[in-house]
Structure 1
Amino acid sequence: MSTLVVTQTRFDRALFVAGAWALALVWILPLAYAIWTAIHPSAYETRFVLLAPLTFENFTRAWNAAPFARYFLNTIMLVSMILAAQLILCIHAAFAFARLEFPGKNILFALVLVQLMVMPDILLVRNYATMAQLGLVDTILAIGLPYFASGFAIFLLRQTFKTIPKELDEAARIEGCSLIGLIWRVYVPLAKPTILAFALVSVSHHWNNFIWPLIITSSVETRPLTVGLSIFSTTDSGIEWSVITAATLITSGPLLIGFLLFQRQFVQSFMRAGIK
């Protein structure tokens, strides 16, 4: 009986490992092909030759074909602005829903949950009209303003704050801590894994967001990387996949490098935050 159980356990383990490898290959093969195409001359875009000559000219051509320095600056400013606004607003809102009592609390939280079910694309026309009325069209602020509050962040942080013992509130109040001090000195440090997990989701989402920035911007001074990358599909000289893939790697490279450097911290943060 024990031998049968051990055999079944080994089979299950082998099945899980095989599934993990299969998923890893599905993810890594397109990336590997993009890297292959970017570091070889255009003659090797569609054929594999083991000793094909290597070149970094595609990266140089891609960088010179578009003002990537400006696009990177715009994107970094955008994701930093959105993340800072989300954390400030959502931390306080989550604390209110988790610890304070006020009229309409459950109704308001239900509206937050409803917001999670609304597709952002549905609001594109209304958001554009609002930005036009405010005179913010073609500005970095217009790209980020609709995302300053996040229902996902409020829900996630509320669930984390509710697990913190209320005895800590009482101890902090006895020591003379104000309500704001209680949030930032007690709750925020204890919720760091959840905050880091959400920060990863927020930065990656807004770094890669395309539709809304494309609609609301029209100049190089305000375009982020994703919109700037689209110029490579509208060139008159034909499609050069080696240059396009090089530009794509330039755009996505910082996120990939950041994840590879801090993957352990990211995974631990997701596990502690309870994100499935």
Structure 2
Amino acid sequence: MHLAKLKISRWLLYIFALLWLVPLLWMTVTAFRPKQIALSPSFSLEFTLHNFATVWSAAPFAQYYLNTVIIVVCVFGVQMITATMAAFAFARVSFFGKNVVFLLFLVQIMVPADVLIFPNYTVLKELSLLDTKLGIMLPYFASAFGIFLLRQMFKTIPPELDEAATMEGYSRWQILWKVYFPLARPSYIAFGLVSVSYHWNNFLWPLIVTNSVENRPLTVGLAIFAQSYEIGAQWTEVSAATLLVIAPLLVGFLLFQRQFMNSFIHSGIK
């Protein structure tokens, strides 16, 4: 009975996976097909790279890529520092009201980022940071999810290591970066994957705070490209542009799929 249920569950997973793949496969095939037969129901082995050449020359995707990489790398870099220090404080440092403060951090996980768009926009306007890369990044420099994930990992590290490091003359700062940081590598991988994928795909906030090509990320650039008068409903160009945007994440997932799954398993995320 149990084996039968397991087989049914496995087949359901396969079916849902295929349903998820249908739009991705359709988009990929359309991106490589000639425009005149793109929507034809008949199968053809005729493929072309002309759509990608058209897209790359019609919009500044090179600039969009650069902007996105800068934003993603800088946000994760700052998050790693802030989340590491906060998680270490919640895991190993005793101070008044620690549990209450930690609960306040956990509440932030349940607050959708879109709810904070108006107050964040007002703050950026007062700081004259609208239409800047720093303005896009600033609200995400602290991550409640990252703090929670690293704090749980740090609490699994034996306190005896702290005592041994202290006897060796290490300060708390040195203990954090020379003991805890290396041991928490799976959690950093898991957090990094979540952070990079989220900010690579982030759309609404960058759309609101950016107006120039020099600061727009890929998602906003793709939306403007797809809605432009010149492109209209030309599915081949739109599909090619979409594939350009999501290709790095797809390639990264396919290359590091095993590390992706293992990092979450070791981090305690079931």
Matched, 1:144 2:140: no
Distance 1:199 1:152 in 2: 11
> Is 1:203 matched up with 2:207?
no
CA distance in 2, matches of 1:168, 1:127: 41
Q: Indicate if the aligned counterparts of 1:131 and 1:142 stay in contact, CA closer than 8 A.
A: yes
Residue 167 (structure 1) aligns with: 160
Structure 1 Cα separation of the partners of residues 152 and 66 of structure 2: 34
Match of 2:33 in 1: 40
Q: Distance in 2 between matches of 1:12 and 1:124?
A: 45
Which stretch shows the higher mean deviation, 72-81 or 114-123?
Answer: 114-123
Distance 1:201 1:26 in 2: 23
Hey, what does 1:5 align to over in structure 2?
none
8 Å contact kept, 1:37–1:44: no
What SS does the corresponding residue of 1:47 show, helix, strand or coil?
coil
1:150 aligned partner, one-letter code: S
The amino acid that maps onto 1:130 is: V
- Alignment of 1:261 with 2:255, yes or no, is yes
Distance 1:130 1:34 in 2: 39
Give the residue type in structure 2 aligned to 1:244. Answer: V
Cα distance per residue 1:192-220 (max 9 Å; x no partner): 10110010000000000000001111000
Structure 2 residue 29 is matched with structure 1 residue 16? no
Q: Which residue of structure 1 lines up, in the alignment, with residue 56 of structure 2? A: 63
Which of 240, 248, 254 is matched with 1:246 structurally? Answer: 240
Q: Residue type of the partner of 2:214?
A: E
**Is the 8 Å Cα contact of residues 68 and 225 (structure 1) preserved in structure 2?**
yes
Q: Which residue of 2 aligns with 1:117?
A: 110
Cα deviation for residue 236 of structure 1 reads: 1.8
User: Equivalent of 1:212, from 205, 212, 220?
Assistant: 205
Percent identity for Structure 1 against Structure 2: 51
TM-score if structure 2 supplies the norm length? 0.97
Residue number in structure 2 paired with 1:104: 97
Contact 1:40/1:53 (8 A) holds in 2? yes
Q: 1:45: how far off? A: 2.8
Q: TM-score, normalised by structure 1?
A: 0.95
For residues 131 and 80 of structure 1, what CA distance do their matches in structure 2 show? 21
List per-residue Cα deviations over 1:55-102 (Å, max 9, x = no partner): 111111111111111110100000001000000001000000011101
2:149 aligns with 156
**Alpha-carbon distance in 1 for matches of 2:194, 2:19:** 22
Length, aligned pairs only = 269
Structure 1: tracts of 5 or more residues without a match? 1-7
- Structure 2 unmatched ranges of 5 or more: none
What amino acid maps onto 1:24 in structure 2? A
Query: SS at 2:259's partner residue?
Result: helix
By how many angstroms is 1:9 displaced? Answer: 4.1
* Deviation of 1:46 (Å): 2.5
Q: Which amino acid aligns with 1:270?
A: F
Q: How big is the shift at 1:48?
A: 3.1
**Quick one: which of 74, 85, 92 aligns to 1:92?**
85
